[in-house]
Amino acid sequence: MITKFYSNKDEIYNTYDKNDLGFVYTPQSTTFKVWAPAASQVLLKLYSTGSYLEEGATVLSINQMVYDKQTGVWSTTIDGDLHGIYYTYVIQNGNKSTETQDVYSKATGVNSARSMVVDLSRTNPQGWENDKHVLVDKQTDAIVWEIHVRDFSSSNTSGVSKQHRGTYLAFTETDTKVPNTNAPTCLSYLKELGITHVQLNPVFDFGSVNEATGVEYNWGYDPVNYNVPEGSYSTDPYHGEVRIKEFKQMVKALHDAGIGVIMDVVYNHMYSGGDSCFEKTVPDYYFRKQGSRYLNSSGCGNVTASEKTMFRKYMIDSLRYWAEEYHIDGFRFDLMGCHDIETMNLIREELDKIDKRILMYGEPWTADNGDNGISGEDCCTKNNAKKLSSRIGMFNDDMRNGLKGGSDDDTKGYIQGSGFDTYKVLAGMMGASSDTFGRWAKQPSQCVTYASAHDNLTLWDKLLKSNWVKDFNTTDSKIIDQNKLSAAFIFMAFGIPFMLAGEEFARTKFGDHNSYKSPDSINSIDWTRTIKYKELVDYYKGLIDIRKKYHQLCEATEDAVNKTYMTYNGKTITGTMANLSGKSDEYKFMAMVVNNNNEKCKFELKSKYELPNRWYVLADHDIASSKAIRVFDNNMEIRPNAILIIVDADSYDKIHDAEETSKIPNYSAGY
């Protein structure tokens, strides 16, 4: 039962709490139900094809639906096996009659003109019954790599077969390589990189790309049907069952590789308000409006009303559907600040009924703070993080900006040598959960730590712009070192590490900071850069391995933060982390030291606990590895513009065999 939140037309309409809206299919009959409490008549039309543009698009039948005034639901049952039959509703609201697809569509024809009845069991790929969620024990164990389906493989450098480039099925190809090399690409590359999850830019049905041609490019933040996979990523957008099966094949391939799948979901607005199936079905209900004007906190002209009973129910039903039918492992919420706190907490509770390890996080802001339609105290923003479940994460844009400066301009952050926002970096390192440096999160599990994402300049392009370098293919060691330093902060911080696909091999979009509809020549992954910038790729791999092996970095609670001691002196940062678990296979102390000055300096590690005198270096400005690369003592000196990640030698020696540790070179005189 969904808790009601009464506002506007919730006070007028009866609502419905069962989970059978849309269609319920059996081989013998299909029952259709649509919530349309303002309608005076609803007709069900059955079609042979999914679009009026197709030849032979005949109307098979027109059927009167029956109204239940207690629930606001219209329903009818049609005998026979309707798998593969398309349908629409003709809804009479006042003097206006409109034909629309089903709000609860599970499949559609090309470009969403009509919904489709589908026997979902027929869309399951081989072995689907044995496919399992890929989940991490704690939210902070996740390492997220954000990718657009088309970007992943559309370039011929991907090594993916031509017919699968830019599609779901590209993820199913194994042992792909950059042509004429042994450099792995796509799924093979991801397995070597070591990430735990891919986050897919919107893969539900969106409106900005013509599925029939697939020529246009778009990120997909313009939903049309939330429960239907996007057709332009399938090999056949005309037959609704094809995209469903191929989507599942993609998920299974990633799961088989040990990689979880996170969906980027955009419940905060639609491609078009007035032309949406929501507005055509129940006018003036699903969107926040003032009179006839749609509110615009989404920046797209039609923010949805998550606080209303039936849209809240819709969001919950939809997310459960993706998690259960498609085995999705997590959800990233676009402009989560548009949604109300109660709804998001209810979503967390509902997903917990499936598995508490399903990830949830989102953008804790809106596109227009002054046009949201609900109280600021009720919005899912950072200011209200403490009102949300500790397992609903939020992107830490403070850390992002502190690290690199403004996302699209030439300002500098800490990694380019500025000391102006060092406090933001320190607070971010503590998972935004430290009273000393400023906090907004309950605990690190609420903090998504990142430097770049699909929007704004890529990290590489930002570094070039802020260093006034115009060569997007430069191998300038200064720029590469700044990229490495960013990665070190992301992976050594408490919270959930997140990166844009290709951040680890200097991905460029040639300075295009808003490439949402730019061509493939701008957006495609150029896999040859994994060869050109192999040093950078290896550094990211090493940091990921360090993070996975030092469990304290992944602690999700405030307790771990309280055992960490961070200091800074000008541009020099030191952080010492203590692990008091007593487990024999875990390091006791780890420290990170960064000297962002132009001169070498001495530093002293500090902690609330007695520190050892001997340390091993796991990472410096050249190499990152979970295996020690040199020995240090506690009287250290660090070179200019350099980084050290070190671990106490005593516990390292206990974990690793004596033959290995005896070969570690000694650089105790300084670095």
What ranges do the domains of the chain cover? 9-117, 140-266+373-552, 267-372, 563-662
Torsion of CA 625, 628, 631, 635, to 10 degrees: 50
8 A C-beta contact, residue 343 and residue 307: yes
Mean pLDDT by 10 residues, the chain (671 residues): 46 91 98 98 95 72 97 98 97 96 97 95 98 96 98 98 98 97 98 98 97 94 97 96 98 98 98 94 95 91 95 98 98 98 98 98 91 92 97 98 96 93 94 93 97 98 97 96 97 97 98 97 98 98 95 88 88 88 82 90 87 91 93 77 92 89 72 57
* Amino acid (one-letter) located at 476: D
Coil, strand or helix at 295: coil
* pLDDT, position 355: 97
For the question of residue 175 being annotated catalytic, the response is no
Return contacts of 352-357, CB within 8 angstroms, 24+ apart.
Answer: 354/320, 354/323, 354/324, 355/133, 355/135, 356/391, 357/133, 357/135, 357/136, 357/137, 357/139
Return contacts of 565-570, CB within 8 angstroms, 24+ apart.
Answer: 565/606, 565/607, 565/608, 566/426, 566/429, 566/430, 566/434, 566/436, 566/437, 567/606, 568/422, 568/426, 569/603, 570/419, 570/597
- Residue 262 pairs with which residues in a beta bridge? 199, 330
CATH code at 563-662? 2.60.40.1180
Sign of the four-CA dihedral 185, 187, 189, 195 = positive
8 A C-beta contact, residue 380 and residue 311: no
**Spatial separation of the C-alpha atoms in residues 435 and 499, rounded to whole Å:** 26
CA angle 107, 112, 115 (to 5 degrees): 45
Among the listed residues 222, 230, 363, 555, the single catalytic one is 363
- Residue 395 pairs with which residues in a beta bridge? 448
Topology, domain 140-266+373-552: TIM Barrel (3.20.20)
**Spatial separation of the C-alpha atoms in residues 401 and 399, rounded to whole Å:** 6
CATH code at 9-117? 2.60.40.10
- Taking Cα atoms as reference points, which of 446, 406, 401 lies closest to residue 425? 401
* pLDDT, position 663: 86
**Spatial separation of the C-alpha atoms in residues 345 and 631, rounded to whole Å:** 48
- Structure tokens given for 654: 């206990």
What per-residue string of b and e applies to 614-626 under the rule 16 or more CB within 10 Å gives b? bbbbbbbbebbbb
* pLDDT, position 7: 47
Whether the domain at 9-117 and the domain at 563-662 fall into the same CATH topology: yes
pTM exceeding the 0.85 threshold for the entire prediction: yes
8 A C-beta contact, residue 469 and residue 476: yes
DSSP H/E element including 362: strand 359-362
Q: Specify the residue for token string 């991907």.
A: 158
- Taking Cα atoms as reference points, which of 28, 26, 52, 32 lies closest to residue 44? 32
Sign of the four-CA dihedral 280, 284, 289, 292 = positive
Sign of the four-CA dihedral 213, 219, 222, 227 = positive
For the question of residue 409 being annotated catalytic, the response is no
- Taking Cα atoms as reference points, which of 169, 179, 157 lies closest to residue 248? 169
* pLDDT, position 3: 38
* pLDDT, position 580: 75
| Start-to-end CA span in the chain (Å) | 63
Among the listed residues 246, 334, 340, 648, the single catalytic one is 334
